[in-house]
Structure formats: structure tokens, C-alpha cells
Amino acid sequence: MLTLPDYPWNALAPYLARAAEHEGGAVNLSIGTPVDPTPEIIMRALREGANAPGYPTTHGTPAVREAIVNWFARRRDVHGLSSDDVMPTVGSKELVAWLPLLLGLGAGDLVVRPRVAYPTYDIGAQLAGADSIAADSLASLSDTDRARVKLVWVNSPGNPTGIIRGAEDLKALVDDARSLGAVVASDECYAELGWGEHEAGVPSILHESVSGLDHSDLLAVYSLSKQSNLAGYRAAFVAGAPNLMPALINNRKHAGMIVPAPVQSAMVAALNDDEHVKAQKNIYRARREALVPALNAFGLRIEDSVGGLYLWCTADEDCWKTIGRLAELGIVAGPGAFYGTAGEGFVRIALTESDERIASAVERLNAASR
């Protein structure tokens, strides 16, 4: 029997219950699930693609692969991708969890993930029977561990920290990983959500400045859940690594990992339309601008948080104490401890509640600070 750790979010149950007792109800800022409507242009494409009696292809329709390639060129300044080098996935979490196994990793192999990171990177290593280690630089590893590295995860903009890694930093990591013969997988699902100086864009692992126009052993993982409110569609994709993609496609065929045909049609519409993405970002911007001063007034210091859907906050105390204090106000946050020991003094605040609930949270934080 496969034994995995308890799902971490179950530990929030008592705090959710406490927050629900607040007279204004709970404001759940703990999980980054979109709450705004799916754009009509995407729903229309889903409806129009609903007559799909045959099996869709694992590799994806020519239309969705062309849309992915064009999106990378238009939005990420990534050129040189072939439609053979991209593939839709059943959400990005599915690929994160199964990539080590799909790549053939096993006992003795080492997966490297960021020091503060999405827990599924570690789960993927466990599913494959490999080991995992937290490090932001391969140079920090021992020679023994460096010799075992087979897969390196990068997450920029990061979840939960909102940190963004620059092209020079990414290139150094890629060059080091390549010297070890390791694959680099970059989880870039918040790339359209750069803030401040990063508004113009966030570097991709596939960009020429990082890859040198050689995409071998480099995979960019992306999701439409956040930018297009498509979490319920499970619409994502992976691109790059022409030396690995044929085997990934073949292995996924055997496992029946296929994105439904109507969802692939919806993905084409989502990828070809930039206006709804801009509109959604402006919604998140307004929520962010409302929350930041209220959190500061409550005594929370915001660190990093220059990209993505979250504010990474600390009161220089154990995260569970902060979680408890917020729950007394009817506000639920994400404990930093869920993301590794380096996150134990932090909480993650998501921007994914309605405008009305965000306003309620701001009001409560301001009242508590007076």
C-alpha cells in the first residue's frame, strides 16, 4: 500500500471552524482557487467543442498545440518551439506529481525543489520512489547529492513566496543542472501575474537568455487556472525538451492521461485572447492593493510577493500563532509550515476571494489594528 503524508490542508479544519463563528462569516484566503467567472469566450468554445464522441489525442489537437506555441512567442518571448514540443496536461498539478515517474526516476535518484515550495514536488518524488531535497542552488549540495540529481524544480513566480528569479539566475541554475545531466522543470503558472517592476513579464526557462535557444532537458509547465479562471477545467500544458517530449507523450498515452476534447477547444480560445487575462489581472491588482496596507497595519510584514496570487507575510512568530490570531477575525490564511521548514514563520494570504469578502477582511484587519 502506498503511504503518503496526510493532506496538509486538513490541519486547517479547526481554524476554519473558528473563523466561521465570526459574525460576518469566514473570509477564506488560504487556498488560491479562482472565484471570478470563467470568461464567456472560453465557455462558448467549450460548448462548441462539446460534440466529441471519439477519443482525443494525448499529444493534443493541432489547434491547441499551435495556440500554445503562439502564446509562448507572444506572451513569453519564447521562440523556436515546435508544435511537437508541447502537450496539454490535466491541470499542472497532475504533471508535477507524476513527472518524476514519467521520466523514469526511482530509488537513489534525487529531486531538488525550492526551500519554500509547493508540497507536490516532494510528493512526486515519493510516487517515483526517489529522494527529494530542498535547495535554491545546486551549489549548496554535497558532491554526493550532486551526483544523484536527476530533476530540478524551479518555481517562478513562486508559490507561496511570490519570488521571481531573473534570467541570469535561471541560466546559472540551468548551466549547473546540465553539467550534472539533470532535467530542469520550471513551474511558471503565475507568469502573467508579475507586479511592480515585473509587470512587463517574467522570464521563462525556455527564453533564449536562459536556454541559449537549446531547450533540451528543459520543461516549462503552465496552467490556465489562474489567468483565465479555469481551475475547474483542468487546463494546463508542458513545453520544451524535444529530446524528452516523445517519451513523455508515449508514457502518458499508456497511462490514459488525456485532456478532454472540449477542454482542449476551450484552451485554444483562452490562449488566443489576451484581453480577459488583462482584465483578471486588474481585479487581482485591486484586491492586492486593498490588502497590503491592512495587513501591514495588523502587524504583518510582507516579503518577496512580487509575482503571483499571494502575499507572503510574517509577524516574526510561529505561523500557527498568526493563523490563530487571524481566525479570531474570521480570516483564514495558509500556514507557511505547509511549504517546508523555511516557511514556519510565515503565512500565505491569497487574493482569491470576491471583492466583497476582501473588503470585509480589510475592514476587520483595520479595526483590529486600531
DSSP 326-368: HHHTTEE-EEGGGG-GGGTTEEEEES-S-HHHHHHHHHHHHHH
List, in sequence order, the alpha helices (H) in 38-181.
40-48, 62-75, 92-102, 120-128, 143-146, 167-179
Q: How far is CA 48 from the centre of its chain?
A: 29
Q: Are strands 149-155 and 183-187 parallel, antiparallel or unpaired?
A: parallel
Query: How far apart (Å, rounded) are the C-alpha atoms in residues 140 and 349?
Result: 30
**Model pTM?**
0.95
Integer Cα distance of 106 and 285 in angstroms: 42
Q: Is the peptide bond before 160 cis (omega within 30 degrees of 0)?
A: yes
Could you read off the pLDDT tens digit of each residue along the chain, which spans 370 residues? 788 888 888 889 999 999 999 999 999 999 889 999 999 999 999 999 999 999 999 999 999 999 999 999 999 999 999 999 999 999 999 999 999 999 999 999 999 999 999 999 999 999 999 999 999 999 999 999 999 999 999 999 999 999 999 999 999 999 999 999 999 999 999 999 999 999 988 999 999 999 999 999 999 999 999 999 999 999 999 999 999 999 999 999 999 999 999 999 999 999 999 999 999 999 999 999 999 999 999 999 999 999 999 999 999 999 999 999 999 999 999 999 999 999 999 999 999 999 999 999 999 999 998 7
Instruction: Give the pairing type, strands 218-223 and 235-240.
Output: antiparallel
283: number of Cβ within 10 Å: 14
Q: Is 316 exposed, middle or buried (0-12, 13-18, 19+ CB in 10 A)?
A: exposed
157, 202 contact by CB (below 8 A): yes
- Residue entry with cell 483565465: 228
Which DSSP letter does residue 53 get?
-
CB 248, CB 105: distance < 8 Å: no
Helix, strand, coil shares, percent, the chain, to 5: 45, 15, 40
C-alpha cell at 62: 493541432
**Three-class secondary structure of residue 159 per DSSP:** coil
Going by C-alpha positions, the residue among 88, 35, 99 that lies closest to residue 58 is: 88
**Count of residues for the chain?**
370
pLDDT for the residue 317: 97
Write down the pLDDT at residue 5: 81
